[in-house]
Structure 1
Amino acid sequence: MRKLLIACLFLLGLGFALFNFKGLAAQGEFETIVLDFREDVPAEVRQEQVRSLGAQLNSEFSQADNVYIVKGDRTTLKALRKSGLVKLTEYIEPNYMYKLPEAPGNSNYRAFSSSKDEAQPAFRGANDPLYGKQWNLRNVSIEPAWDETKGAGITVAVIDTGISQVPDLKDTKFVKGYDFVSDKVEADDDNGHGTHVAGTVAQSTNNNYGVAGVAYEASLMPLKVLSSSGGGTVADISEAIKFAADNGADVINMSLGGGGESQMMQEAINYAHSKGVVIIAAAGNSNENSASYPARYPHVIGVSAIDSSGEKAFYSSYGAGVDISAPGGAMQGEGDSAAGGILQETIGYDENDNLIPVFAAFQGTSMASPHVAGVAALIKAAGVTEPDDIEKVLKESARAVQDDGLNYYGAGHLDAGAAVKLALRGQITFRDFFRWLRDNGYLNPRFWIDGGAVALLPKVAMVLGSYLLAWFLRNYFPFGWSWSLASGLLAGSSGLFFLRGFYIFDLPQWPFRVMGSSIPELGSAVQGSGLLNPIFASVLIPFILVALLLGHRSWKWFAIGSAVGVASCLVVSAVVDPAVLWLGEGAIARTFLITNALLCYGLAYLASQGEKQTA
């Protein structure tokens, strides 16, 4: 009885705690409330409610969804949810404020300068002067990924503080965006965060200037939802997500977050996902055991941050909602000594508070998230199209971390090279085919004209020589041409010689050497030697063929043709390359070949004597 009483008290206490603790889903801050009117509500009824509440459309994109914003706090929210307005709306919810994840220590790496006077980096991936300082790109193995794709044809929407086109974004492609804070088309940055994030995704690269970006041939879509102070509403962010999905974005990056779950945002995320958009978000910088929103939502890839040693960055949130980790940096010192941060070009202020371009080292999960967004763009450019499949590639290719009991790293550390390789598995690209041609010498003109794998010119001379000898023989002992004679000439002089240089990976090559060899070469065809075998490079095989087939009306001419073809082959070999097994490459070998060539021709002469009809 006592144990039962204790169990009941425990369950009552647990239920009370769960009922009174709403968790991160209800911990957000807000100053306005979202009203989403049902589609079947008559327009005049909706407008009457809007006027009485003093509500307004959130933006020009809110009209189709009937989304309105009204000022209010938690008391107002509670009253509205108890009013008759509930029957007219899909939902009434807080318009939570999401912010830039706070990351202490962000500072300018150095003031803007041309950077062209700096030493060129000793890396093969990019010629940008400051590329050598971007430890983060080598950390994700970006260079093997660049060997296959740079993200061309993919659009990445950066939902942030906007993007200013600083000099190191001059060669980067942009598509139309929108400023949801000020409701205008130009989405310029007045904070610096969004430009820095955009640089990690697609900074202009290989332009002998500044730094590099992950998917630098991708296009950027600037969507400003955060003000200069770094705050924005879930309504603006939700509409930006739908704008991106409706205007051709393939990937969305959100380096922002906060507390407070939003049905409006979840619907926007579901809508974008259904249209094939990959959505990535920062896990947060509070070092707490759960990612913030929107990283926590389904269909969003939450990204935690690691430092240059591969360990969890000291500020990074972890646990629930973290799907993968990427370089976010952990700086030591300030200014020029701010090593360990993520370096990109963004905007900053000079001593007179004038806005100028600067190369700045930042740290945070905000910096980790665009690494994943950039690699997602590379994966999609490699041919994987569905967002769930792209997420699967990201996770399966990640470098797994053992003993990650608190889920610091999700599937592991981001690996761009492995991700692109996995995305391309089973696909034969033009680059693969071109590389195969190059590696096997087929792109070298010498391969085709002067004794590469096929020794083309000597082979052609052998074939033509066999027909010339046959023509000479026919003048003295007239006979008709036939397919059996032509086949014998071809077999004896060259075989299907083009097959000699035909290679297929992982298949034995001796069948091709045999099919591409003339009779004098058969003895060395299997082992692949270039030396002629004296047993086959002689009159012996033609003699056996003539002896066996002389009594057959048709096949006899194959034997005669083979004898003439072998004679031509031996003569050309004696002139071009008199290399015979056991006999060397000198006068002895040459004498042997010419002697047997004469014997073969004499054999053909004797076999054809008195014949005047075709087979």
Structure 2
Amino acid sequence: MRKNVFYFLLLFFAVISCNREGIQNEAADIEVNQRDPLTVREINAGINQSIKTRGSFKWSQSTDHFLWSAIFRGNKVASIGFGTSEKDFDRSLSPDNGKIQNEILSIIQQYEGKEKGRILLGADQYLNQIDVNIEKQETIVALRRLKTLRYLEPADYQYFKNEGALNTGGAAKSSSSGSSGCGFDSEALSSADYTTVSPNAKAPWSFYKHNITNAWNYSTGAGITIGLIDTGVSPEQTLLGSSFNNGASSGRTISKVGVHVDSVWPWSTGFDGPNDQCGHGTSMASTMAAPRNNQGLPVGVAYNANLIAYRAATNVVLDGYHEQNGVKIAFTELANNTAVKIISMSMGHIFSVGKIEDGVRYAYSKGKLIFCAGGTSTSFTNFAGVIFPAWMPETQAITGVKEGTSNQKCDVCHSGGEIDFTYQMEKASGNSVPVLSYYNGQTKYVGGSSVATASTAGIAALVWSKNPSWTRDQVLNKMRQSASYYPNPDANYGYGNINVLNAVQ
């Protein structure tokens, strides 16, 4: 008996010794890969090369060292999506989410040598998604071996900010400078660009190209709530505030929500309010839902629809932790708002962001009809096709085209196989669509795929208002059937321009 016990103990210690040796060898293998991080020039060059040669860039296809370098250069913050499958993003439908999350955090603690409180930056309450602090490359290697990891990405690597610095040869500038979609200017409107309609509103020229004014005889958007994810709405523009019900617009509401944190540090908290500090969100709100007013100012497509406007970002380029996080929050909150039928976002990025993908999928799972801008070129993105998240199958990608066409994109617009609809927003004169200005009583022009997207969201509100019992798919099918290329979509412009009168009859 003693002899058997002796052999058993000998075998036990031999197994333990082998296991320890295996763990040490595994750790050693990981540590061998530790090198200095790539520079932002090298990282951006790798991203650009992938987009130019493959047509896209994905963090999941990058090497461990490339991914770690971007996380390191992005304030050492990573975004992790987890679950038992690619579609396992909804916490409420994922019974093992707590267990999986704790396993991931335990691995990070093991390799980083830090307490949980110094690792976990935030855990989403609706999505299987967390933000964590990671400094070591071996942590990245270990995490990517997990079968429960849906994605692991830099949460604060600012591609556009870095690209701007590299192209100008100077210090890194915020993406709000340059081609950001921002502007507080006002412009007098040419009389050729609008028609006055009762009680004294200006209907933009583009409305007539899409038969929107005639469609108003059947639907004005009443009873439909649109969710706008953008830079907020101006507190100075009363027609998007206290006078939202004005003239022929009545019985509706506008709500303004702020989910953006104005800080360069990912760990900062505290939303900075709903007020637009860019101007872009104000223009989009005007395009889709400005009142049919008695003040001689532009009217929106769905002038009797309700509007919930989210300030989720600083500008249209979703570059950085707080902008991407704000957009994710906006999507999930609008998804959970049962009154909201339609979500419109005229912002994006040239490559995917996991947490925003999760937010879009979550909203789609709740029956929302989502419209996203196909892309408006900046000096850094003119080589890109349809941008994210417009390329996602859960969204409707919209681009702008020239007056009288359905397959000639506007001078700064993007096109491609993911486009679903087009909207005429650029005249031969070069003028775009008249909208309310940031300031009360003033006007301006706005163009690109941004205004095309907001206009199309307004069109969807007209269709849904005419048929309030319809599902998202029924509304979408009616829009397709009323467009120029139905039933055979164009390779780069989808179903083309929508005849809105046909869509509401």
Greater Cα offset, 398-407 or 289-298: 398-407
Deviation at 1:42, TM superposition (A): 7.7
What is the percentage of aligned positions where both structures have the same residue? 23
Does the 8 A contact of 2:344 with 2:370 survive in 1? yes
Contact 1:179/1:223 (<8 A) preserved: yes
Residues 1:212 and 2:212 are matched in the alignment: no
Pair 1:171 & 2:244 matched: yes
Residue deviations 1:146-165, cap 9 Å, x none?
11111111111111111124
2:260 aligns to what? 180
User: Hey, what's the Cα distance between the residues in 1 that align with 2:471 and 2:144?
Assistant: 39
Are 1:371 and 2:455 counterparts?
Answer: yes
Indicate whether 1:40 and 2:40 are aligned.
no
Alignment CA distance shift 1:259-1:229 (3 Å): closer
Q: Does residue 82 in structure 1 map to residue 150 in structure 2?
A: no
Which structure's residues are more often helix, by fraction? Answer: 1
CA distance in 1, matches of 2:225, 2:55: 35
Alignment partners' CA distance in 2, 1:20 and 1:412 = 26
What is the DSSP-based 3-state SS (H/G/I as helix, E as strand, rest coil) of the residue aligned with 1:417?
helix
TM-score, length-normalised on structure 1?
A: 0.54
Note the residue ranges of structure 1 that are not aligned, 5 or more in a row: 1-16, 333-338, 349-355, 422-615
Offset at residue 245 of structure 1 (A)? 1.0
Match of 2:19 in 1: none
Residue matched to 2:248: none
Is the aligned partner of 1:128 residue 2:200? yes
Report how far residue 374 of structure 1 moved: 0.3
Does the C-alpha gap of structure 1 residues 244 and 396 become closer, same or farther in structure 2, counting only changes over 3 Å? same
Q: 1:322 & 1:22 partners in 2: Cα distance? A: 19
Corresponding residue SS for 1:414: coil
Structure 1 residue 357: deviation in Å?
6.5
- 1:155 aligns with one of 215, 225, 234: 225
Provide the rounded CA distance (Å) in 2 between the counterparts of 1:239 and 1:122: 39
Q: Deviations over 1:441-470 (max 9, x none)?
A: xxxxxxxxxxxxxxxxxxxxxxxxxxxxxx
Q: Which has the higher contact order (CA 8 A, sep 6+)?
A: 2
Query: Would the alpha carbon gap of residues 21 and 126 (structure 1) be closer, same or farther in structure 2, given more than 3 Å must change?
Result: same
Match of 1:324 among 407, 421, 424: 421
Identify the residue that residue 187 of structure 2 maps to in structure 1: 110
Which residues of 2 match residues 320-469 of structure 1 at below 5 A? Answer: 320-329=417-426, 332=429, 340-347=431-438, 358-383=442-467, 385-400=470-485, 407=492, 409-421=493-505
Mapped partners of 2:448, 2:280: distance in 1: 11
Cross-structure match for 1:92? 152
2:41 corresponding residue in structure 1:
none
What is the CA-CA distance between 1:411 and the residue it aligns to? 0.5
**Uncovered stretches (5+) of structure 2, i.e. residues with no partner:** 1-48, 60-66, 84-96, 161-174, 246-252, 263-269
Mapped to 1, the partners of 2:419 and 2:374 lie a distance apart of 6
The letter of the residue matching 1:329 is: E
Distance between the aligned counterparts of 2:149 and 2:460, measured in 1? 37
Query: Is 1:270 aligned to 2:361, yes or no?
Result: yes
Deviation at 1:320, TM superposition (A): 1.9
| One-letter amino acid of the counterpart of residue 346, structure 1 | S
User: d(CA) in 2 for partners of 1:375 and 1:126?
Assistant: 20
1:67-101 per-residue CA deviation (whole Å, 9 max, x = no partner) reads 332467xxx69654312476475432233769899
- How far is 1:218 from its partner? 0.8
Residue 244 of structure 2 aligns with an amino acid whose one-letter code is D
Give the whole-Å Cα distance in 2 for the aligned partners of 1:19 and 1:171: 43
SS in 2 for 1:385: coil
Structure 1 residue 296 corresponds to structure 2 residue 382: no
CA contact under 8 A between 2:403 and 2:424: conserved in structure 1?
yes
Q: Deviations over 1:278-333 (max 9, x none)?
A: 0001110236573111110012100110123434212211112101101333585x
Q: Report the alpha carbon displacement of residue 198 of structure 1 after superposing the two structures with TM.
A: 0.7
Larger displacement relative to structure 2 (90-99 or 291-300) = 90-99
Matched pairs, number: 378
Let me know the Cα RMSD of the aligned residues: 4.0
Secondary structure at the counterpart of residue 281 of structure 1: strand
Distance in 2, matches of 1:163 and 1:47, equals 39
Match of 1:23 among 41, 48, 55: 55
Question: What does the per-residue CA deviation read over 1:383-407, in whole Å, with 9 as the maximum and x for residues that have no partner?
Answer: 1632222222111101239999652
User: For residues 172-221 of structure 1, what are the alpha-carbon distances to aligned partners after superposition, in whole Å with 9 as ceiling and x for unaligned?
Assistant: 52135332335438411000000101100100113333110001111111
Q: Distance in 1 between matches of 2:413 and 2:296?
A: 31
CA distance in 2, matches of 1:256, 1:122: 29
CA displacement 1:510-546 (0-9 Å, x = unmatched): xxxxxxxxxxxxxxxxxxxxxxxxxxxxxxxxxxxxx
Say whether 1:240 aligns with 2:330: yes
1:151 and 1:217 in contact (8 A); partners too: yes
CA distance in 2, matches of 1:259, 1:77: 27
Does the Cα contact within 8 Å between 1:307 and 1:313 map onto a contact in 2? Answer: yes
Distance in 1, Cα, partners of 2:434 & 2:244 = 18
